[in-house]
Structure formats: C-alpha cells, structure tokens
Amino acid sequence: MVVRTARDDELALADLLDRALYKGVVLWGEATISLAGVELVYVGLKVLVASYATSERFRSAARSGAS
Amino acid sequence: MLQLDRSETRHRPAEAQRVYVYGIIREEEGGERPNVPPLEGLAGNPIRIVANDGLAAIVSMLEPRAAGAPFEEDLKDPERAKSLILDHHRVLRQIIDDRTVLPTRFGALFADDRKVVDALNEHRHGLFEALERVQGAREWGVKIFSDRSVLCRHLGEESPAMRAAQRELAGATEGRAFFLRRRIAQLSEEEAGRAIAQTVEASRRSLCDVARADAAMKLQPAGVHGRADEMVWNGALLVAKAADARFFALIGELLQVHAPRGFHYETNGPWPPFNFADCRLGVRENGCSNGA
C-alpha cells in the first residue's frame, strides 16, 4: 500500500483552479481581474472541467526557448 | 540560466502592452541576484524581472489582444482562460525549486514596470513578511478520503453500544428488530462522523510536526476528485524542501495506521505556496494570515 503522489504532469486542473484563482498574493494592479471576474472564469472552467470524463490532469512541463 | 542585468529590467512597454505579474521573490537570495530561466510566459512572451530595493517581481508582457480592457472579456472563453492559468502555474513551477516565491493570484496586470515597482514599494513590509514565512518551502496538497462502509464495519466491531444492539437484534421480535436496525444505523453514522473528524485532526496535527503551516481548502465533490470514496480533508501543507523526505515518510505511516479503517491518503504537488501567500495587500479590512 503506497500513497499516490500526483506530480507535475498529473496534477489535477481543479486543484490548480482552487489555488490560482482564490489564493496567492493580491497586488492590486489597475487591470487586476476583479472578484466578479474570478467567479466568471471559475464557473466557465468548472463547466470545462466537468466536460471531461474524470478529473482532468494538466501538463506543467517547461516550454523553454523564449527569445 | 539567463542572468538579467538590472538595467534591462526596467523599460516602458510599447503602447497598450501591459505587464503581467506571476510572483514576488527577493532581489537577492543566498547572495545571488535573481536568475530567471529562459521561459515563455503568458502568450509566449519572455519572462523577465522587475527589481526594486530588495524585492523583485517575475513578469512578462501581455499583448493588447489579451490585455484588452477589461481583462475579464478575454477570459470568457474557458479554453483561453485555462491556457492562461496553466501558463501562470507553469512559470511559477519552474522557479519554486530554486527560489523562494510568493505566487500572485491569477490575473494581476499592470500598466507598466513603474506601476509594478510602485506596488512593490507600497506593500514592501507585507511582502517581506510573507516571503519570510515561506522561505525555502513549497506547498504540498494532502487529501484524505474515507470509505464509510469499511469504517462502519470496523466501528460495529469496536463500539460497545453497537455490539450490544447487534446482540439484541439476534433474538429480537420483528417490531423490536426494526427499531434496533434503525438505532444501529444511527449509531453507526454518528460514530463514523466522530471517527472521521478524529482521524483528520490527528493526521493534521501529525503532519504539522514536519510542516511549517497548514491550511484547509474546500472539499471536492466526487465528480471532481474522481474516486469512489468520500473526501474528508483537502489540506495544503507548507513544507521546507529539506523536510520533504520526512514529510512523505510520515504520510506513508499515516496510511499504514488508518487504512484498515477505510482511510486513504493522496498527495499532490509541489505547488508554489499559494495557500500561504494569501494576503490581500492593500485591502485594509483583510489582514494577512498564516494560511487561509
């Protein structure tokens, strides 16, 4: 019996949304997404997430080579 | 690794472009100037840093199309929003192994570098405090699941009240049996609730022996976590990188202890310390706290 650890390439999108949209430092820039905007994005993405068969995983592997 | 010279880090963007902020780091960590890997940020623009007086913001430019006011308009397309949020995480993920980062909440757009520097200055004290809290640490998610049928079977064998009711049931008349079955079901629910709360609290306290702080996130429904059993805790733990091995050994031990009663543990990460940087700087009524 082992504990399953989801790492980088198998993290769930839902776990990222719960963090990136609701947690983290808020530095209010003049174009910072509003709380109402966050709800809008979250609800839209929930629909997107729900349209996949199971909890969706995402890839966070590096895309390097920017010039 | 790309070493960015300070002189390069401040320039006014072309008209209508805006500056997107991913996170805040110290300008120097361990005597080293910020090193930012040659990464692509949102919409493929290169990552750079805007440093000022000990603090540095990890930023990239955002094109007018994406930055068009309001930003929300661009996010109404879920696929587009998803891609931007994944970019936000991907950039932070490349940095958290090497540096202490305070992740910003998704969606922080500034008019230009000057405005970013102003924000760093304005929230200087709170940012340094928050950086101190997460110094050298990353966030790991820990989810605890409970299979109630396994737990209730176990409790039925343990609980004196339930065993007494079971014994009585064996020789009971039909009417009495009906009452006893209901009583057993009710006892079973109550005891399961208590056992779950106790196991979650014991696990949390145990994890906090190794972790620096913990935060409870909202529970996810089965449709989101995709398991047959019930999520009973969705925790975030702030763990120093040096303590990772002990942390995972501990979770293995918790699983061994609690699995016979139908508990299961899952971990995910490492995350930027989102749950431990949750302070709305500049909003007076919301103070900084150690984890939400």
The verdict on B188 and B60 lying in the same domain is: no
- For chain B, positions 178-207, list CB contacts with chain A under 8 A: none
**Domain co-membership, B20 together with B123:** yes
Same domain, B230 and B187: yes
- Residue-range domain boundaries for chain A: 8-58
Distance from A57 to chain B by nearest Cα, in Å?
11
pTM above 0.90, yes or no: no
Structural domain includes residue B207: yes
Domain hosting B18: range is: 2-135
**Within this chain, do residues B8 and B125 fall inside the same structural domain, yes or no?**
yes
Contact A18 B217 (CB under 8 A): yes
Of B76, B109, B135, at which residue does a domain stop? B135
Measured in angstroms, the CA of B23 and the nearest CA of chain A are apart by 8
Query: Which of B221, B219, B212 minimizes the C-alpha distance to B291?
Result: B212
Strands B280-281 and A26-27: parallel
ipTM of the complex: 0.84
Q: Kindly state whether A38 is in contact with chain B, defined as any CB-CB distance less than 8 angstroms.
A: yes
B117 and B158 part of one domain: no
Burial B153-188 (b: 16+ CB within 10 A, else e): ebbbeebeebeebeeeeeeeeeeeeeebeeebeebb
**B144 and B88, same domain (yes or no):** no
Interchain proximity B70–A31, CB inside 8 Å: yes
Q: How far is B140 from chain A (nearest CA, A)?
A: 10
Digit-by-digit pLDDT tens for chain B (292 residues) are: 334 444 344 444 444 678 899 999 999 876 666 666 677 887 788 999 999 999 999 999 887 655 555 566 777 777 878 888 888 999 999 999 889 999 998 888 888 899 999 999 988 999 999 999 999 999 999 999 999 999 999 998 888 888 888 899 988 999 999 999 999 999 999 999 999 999 999 999 999 999 999 999 999 988 888 899 999 999 999 999 999 999 999 999 999 999 999 999 999 999 999 999 866 554 433 333 344 3
CB atoms within 10 A of CB B114: 14
